[in-house]
Amino acid sequence: MSLKKAVFSSSKLLNGLNSKVCVIVGSQWGDEGKGKLVDILAGKYDVCARYNGGANAGHTIIVNGVKYPFHLLPCGILYPQTLNLLGNGTVIHLQTMFDELKQLDRDKICYKGRLMLSDRAHLVTSLSIAADSKNEEQSKNQFLGTTKRGIGPTYASKMNRYGLRIGDLKNWDTFQQKYNYLQQKFKDFDIQPQQDELKEFKQLRDRLLSENMIVDSVYLLNKQMKEGKKILVEGANACLLDIDFGTYPYVTSSSTSVGGVCTGLGIPPQNIQTVVGIVKAYTTRVGEGPFPTELQDENGEHFRKVGREFGTTTGRPRRCGWLDIPLLRYSNMINKFSSINITKLDVLDQMDQIKIATKYLIDGKEIGYMPSTIDELSQVQVEYIKLKGWKKDISKITTYRSLPKEAKEYIKTIEKLLKVPVSWIGTGPERESMIQKKI
């Protein structure tokens, strides 16, 4: 192979265009715009799989002016040739999933035979949703800001080994027994199930079985890989919300980093060729928890207004701040990004000056790491560098070369500070508003 071809092949591997297994991971506190790159890449992959979380995550895909706000469905569902999978690490609220499928039915997007649910994935019940709300209401001194979608209690039932799995639906008598046992467990906390929930599960079960949606996902995926099929892995939430590596306890209840791919899908680690980190051009988070670069001024309001920073799942306004390099270095340390996708660069279009956080300090001394406790993280002072804004509309620009020099300087600065190449640049919400940058 010539050097030129080798470099081109390597570039396509780093940006996810030609990987056997490519993982898309959020690098901040979520809402980075992961779904857009997944949507762009999904047409080049045979399988699009989710490995964690449930309806607490939200992707909004815009195709030909039509919005698809997905909470559970993998983004590959919009491509007719792509098989879509909810893996064993996910927790599934079936009614939410079928509600999302209704829009596809209306738009005549056929998904029959292309949507599979792992028989090992756990079911979200009305019991878990009620428990989630009750827990949040009773957390007087530690309001976590959960989405109240039943995610935490479902994972708790899983770890306590009395959770309901998708595969349990195959045998209705067994499922009823397990459901009644689960109900008894929740009664201890004075939580009652939704009326007629078992009847609803029976109806949903019949549809799942008639459409052959329940599969042994571990064998399915590994068979696909042995046959040379390409797998695109879609993460939910983001690294700083990881149950182990995030800003605990202000985190989600699953493994959101690249390690969760192996446990949430059954993919061997050596099979993962590419990890693309999604980095919003500024930082946001929903709910509670420390946020070193948070802005309480007109700049924060600008990000919220221009970036439409309101949660897809909750509708809550997001907290906004400057881009945080120490946070991103930590995220890269855990996930080892092959390259990164900068999203929402256009939100910075009208800013005179842009700041990037480069260091954390405590008592005036640089600490060189991201603290693991919220007490210490809440105490950090932040050192910034200042860059000149470009004051131009970049939303119609389709090539890196055509970007204003100040925008290119912003990108180069991020690459230099992180020591990770930028492969994609988002300049708007539409599928077409993405620049592919040569590495």
User: Do the annotations mark residue 207 as ligand-binding?
Assistant: no
**What angle in degrees, to the nearest 10, is found between the helix axes of 94-106 and 197-210?**
50
Distance CA 132, CA 144 (A): 11
User: Do the annotations mark residue 368 as ligand-binding?
Assistant: no
Distance CA 435, CA 141 (A): 45
Report the 10 Å Cβ neighbour count for 44.
17
DSSP readout, 318-373? PEEE-EEHHHHHHHHHHH--SEEEEE-GGGGTT-SEEEEEEEEEETTEE--S--SS
Distance CA 265, CA 252 (A): 18
Q: Answer for the pair 111, 51: CB distance below 8 angstroms, yes or no.
A: no
The active-site residue out of 31, 39, 168, 324 is 31
Could you tell me which of 233, 327, 278, 246 has the C-alpha nearest to residue 34?
A: 278
User: Do the annotations mark residue 82 as ligand-binding?
Assistant: no
Is 352 among the residues known to form the active site?
no
Q: Provide long-range contacts, Cβ within 8 A and 24+ apart, for 3-10.
A: 10/439
Reading the block at residue 247, the tokens are 């800003």
User: Do the annotations mark residue 33 as ligand-binding?
Assistant: yes
Reading the block at residue 261, the tokens are 């791919």
Distance CA 175, CA 202 (A): 10
β-pairing, 231-234 vs 83-86, is: unpaired
Element of type H or E holding 35 = helix 34-42
Report the 10 Å Cβ neighbour count for 29.
27
User: Do the annotations mark residue 208 as ligand-binding?
Assistant: no
User: Do the annotations mark residue 344 as ligand-binding?
Assistant: yes
User: Do the annotations mark residue 88 as ligand-binding?
Assistant: no
User: Do the annotations mark residue 154 as ligand-binding?
Assistant: no
User: Do the annotations mark residue 237 as ligand-binding?
Assistant: yes
User: Do the annotations mark residue 30 as ligand-binding?
Assistant: yes
Element of type H or E holding 138 = helix 126-138
User: Do the annotations mark residue 307 as ligand-binding?
Assistant: no
DSSP readout, 367-403? --S--SSHHHHTT-EEEEEEEE---S--TT--SGGGS
User: Do the annotations mark residue 252 as ligand-binding?
Assistant: yes
User: Do the annotations mark residue 26 as ligand-binding?
Assistant: no
User: Do the annotations mark residue 229 as ligand-binding?
Assistant: no
User: Do the annotations mark residue 345 as ligand-binding?
Assistant: yes
Could you tell me which of 339, 340, 337, 344 has the C-alpha nearest to residue 318?
A: 344
The active-site residue out of 93, 158, 355, 437 is 158
CB burial readout 102-130, b (16+ within 10 A) else e: eebeeeebebeebbbbbbbbbbbbbbbbb
User: Do the annotations mark residue 43 as ligand-binding?
Assistant: no
User: Do the annotations mark residue 315 as ligand-binding?
Assistant: yes
User: Do the annotations mark residue 36 as ligand-binding?
Assistant: yes
User: Do the annotations mark residue 283 as ligand-binding?
Assistant: no
Reading the block at residue 63, the tokens are 């195709």
User: Do the annotations mark residue 35 as ligand-binding?
Assistant: yes
User: Do the annotations mark residue 32 as ligand-binding?
Assistant: yes
The active-site residue out of 59, 280, 355, 437 is 59
Is 105 among the residues known to form the active site?
no
Is 216 among the residues known to form the active site?
no
User: Do the annotations mark residue 49 as ligand-binding?
Assistant: no
User: Do the annotations mark residue 413 as ligand-binding?
Assistant: no
| Binding-site residue set for Mg(2+) | 31, 58
| Binding-site residue set for GTP | 30-36, 58-60, 318, 344-346, 426-428
| Binding-site residue set for IMP | 31-34, 56-59, 147, 161, 237, 252, 316
The residues assigned a catalytic role are 31, 59, 158
| Binding-site residue set | 30-36, 56-60, 147, 161, 237, 252, 312-318, 344-346, 426-428
